[in-house]
Amino acid sequence: MIFVPTGLLPKQACPGLAQVGNLMTTYPFQNPSLSTSKRIADLLGRMTLAEKIGQMTQIEKNSLTPELVAKYALGSVLSGGGGYPKTGNTPQDWVNMIGEFQKAALETRLGIPLIYGVDAVHGHNNLHGAVIFPHNIGLGAAGDLDLVKKIGRFTAHELLATNVHWNFAPAVSVPQDIRWGRTYEGYSENSDLVAELGAAYVCGLQSSGVSASVKHFVGDGGTRWGSTHPIPWIPRMWQADDDRWCMDQGVTDVDETTLREVHLRPYAAAIAAGAKNIMVSYSSWNGLKMHGHHYLLTDVLKGEMGFEGFLISDFLAINQLHEDYRTCVVQAINAGLDMVMVPFDAAQFIDTLTAAVEDGAVPLSRIDDAVRRILLVKFEFGLFERPFADPALYTEIGSETHRAAAREAVQKSLVLLKNDNMLPLSRDTSTLLMAGEAANDIGLQCGGWTIEWQGKSGAVTTGSTLFQGVFEKMGGDVAYSPIADFTPGAVAEVGIVAIAEKPYAEGEGDNGNLALTAEQIALIHKVRPHCNKLLLVIYSGRPLIITEQLEMCDAVVAAWLPGSEGAAISDVLFGDVPFTGKLSFSWPRSMSQVPLSALISSGEPPLFPFGHGLETC
């Protein structure tokens, strides 16, 4: 049972009667029996300009107090990557933190609830103990729509239990260059598969009462390598000067036909599935940053595609439009942006936009349109009636039911790249050894966006590892050394090497060389003489260059970033569950076949084509 602190209970006592401020009122917008359109019209007609602009403002929780929420009548608060409560990272800490912000919102003149957003991109991944599902690249390899819907539902349950009603997911990016550090957030290089799985996730998440935020509109998966450059008026807060941040937030150099065919179609599918929020991309197209792109945001998305929901900016993204902040605000709002992830200085944004409306640079009609769209989401997702955590869902956080779904996702996501009469393994194997720190490291198997923004190695959360799974299958008869420090001359029947990319997120993962590291190659060479048969298991957020190492291994498995339930890999290795996963990205044989356009123009086959995946009985 979860205990909502005293004073954080909803004020509404019955339909049509609620306390707003210190007065009991019966405003029509408080009546859930009325149509959403009537409730919006009534509430919008009662709002001042300050209250409207407050609804358009989203601030990161570390730059905020409940008092500021009330002062500015803010519409939204977010946790960035790793944005768990300062008091701790338990479900109750989340309930308390968000509840205090929500209480402040409900005590404003009109009592409009705020909507709290997080990047729960593979489960409620900021919360310790939540189930961490495979990243999207693994779900793309699984290709199971019903499973993705289930993952969406279960993620929503864990979010709602902690007071979160808005998830900045799914990414419906269509990565065309696996050097991109966000490749693993994309289901596939294929637009059709992305559209199907993205829509399935939207359906699952929203069927349980959490709003999706489909991202990043549009073309973020098509940016050109080397097209990201420092913006002179923006301090480099985290970006490095090497290959990192070399294409993330860059330029999508394609014609409009390609933009529509490759990158826009998944948004149409998401909208058809009921998406009411879309996050705008940092990237540029046709000479304009997307956050200032009136043609794509308003003419195409809201006009041609009939999108009725609201557009949210990305973190600090409007600041990239111009060195003058007022110009940034005016251009972004007039282009069609409805809510701004400011994310630090509420007063600066609110004062700037207020002045722009008062002097006519931003029409009041644009403000009203933005607020109408924001209120639509808040009404449709029941925030006025249910603004707080759902205590009935508390027991689902990290539950066995959710972990079973995650294990199923791991099993179905594994792609058997090579198998020379090695798999499935037998429990009767006489001797088995394992090497590689990745074999027993939850942080490495989860990757980025796990507890911390960039993720990290180690026991970052609860779960199980490949080593634990194999250890159980073998009844404990496993020799394991992270660095392959085995007895000289000892030879096992079976050897398993697990390697992993270092966790990363966003542009920190941009990488111009996807070959295995010298240490990883040395580990494979070190283990090879110690076993008759060698299995290589790869944790990665994208295909890696393994052409030379392939010949050294009897079997190779792409395990992607499987999340918290790593032991489920052993179920497939030992044949309890068959291999069924198929590559949702082409696997190049060398960097000369990267990006995808280079592979196509080369006329040479990849190491493994899109759709490849051996099966076992």
Q: Tokens in use for 43?
A: 């509430």
**598 membership: H or E segment, kind and range:** helix 596-602
Q: Tokens in use for 265?
A: 């179609």
Which position among 51, 185, 314, 338 bears the catalytic label? Answer: 314
**419 membership: H or E segment, kind and range:** strand 415-419
Which position among 158, 189, 196, 506 bears the catalytic label? Answer: 506
Q: Is 177 a catalytic residue?
A: no
d(CA 215, CA 31): 33
One DSSP character per residue, 132-172 reads: -PPPHHHHHHH--HHHHHHHHHHHHHHHHTTT--EE---B-
Give me the amino acid identity at 177.
D
Report whether 452 contacts 460 (CB < 8 A).
Answer: yes
Provide the CB-side half-sphere exposure for 570 (13 A, CA).
Answer: 21
361, exposed or middle or buried, with CB in 10 Å at 0-12, 13-18, 19+? middle
Q: Tokens in use for 435?
A: 């090497």
Q: Tokens in use for 399?
A: 């539950």
Give me the amino acid identity at 29.
F
Q: Tokens in use for 182?
A: 């966000």
d(CA 567, CA 384): 42
Q: Tokens in use for 269?
A: 């599918």
Q: Taking the C-alpha atoms of 144, 543, 256 and 119 in order, what is their torsion angle to the nearest 10 degrees?
A: 60
CA 353 to chain centre: 30
What is Dmax (Cα atoms) for the chain? Answer: 83
Q: Is 485 a catalytic residue?
A: no
From residue 554, alpha-carbon distances to 143, 473, 531, 573 in Å are: 26, 20, 11, 13
Cβ burial 84-109 (10 Å sphere, 16+ → b, else e): bbeeebbbbbbbbbbbbbbbbbbbbb
**536 membership: H or E segment, kind and range:** strand 531-539
Q: How many CB atoms lie within 10 A of CB 206?
A: 21
Alpha-helix residue ranges (DSSP H) falling in 384-481? 400-413, 442-446, 466-473
60, exposed or middle or buried, with CB in 10 Å at 0-12, 13-18, 19+? middle
Q: Is the dihedral of CA 574, 578, 584, 589 positive or negative?
A: positive
Residues in a beta bridge with 23: 20
Give me the amino acid identity at 146.
D
d(CA 454, CA 472): 31
CA 206 to chain centre: 15
d(CA 520, CA 19): 62
SS (HEC) of 326-389? HHHHHHHHHHCCCEEECCCCHHHHHHHHHHHHHCCCCCHHHHHHHHHHHHHHHHHCCCCCCCCC
Q: Which residues are catalytic?
A: 314, 506
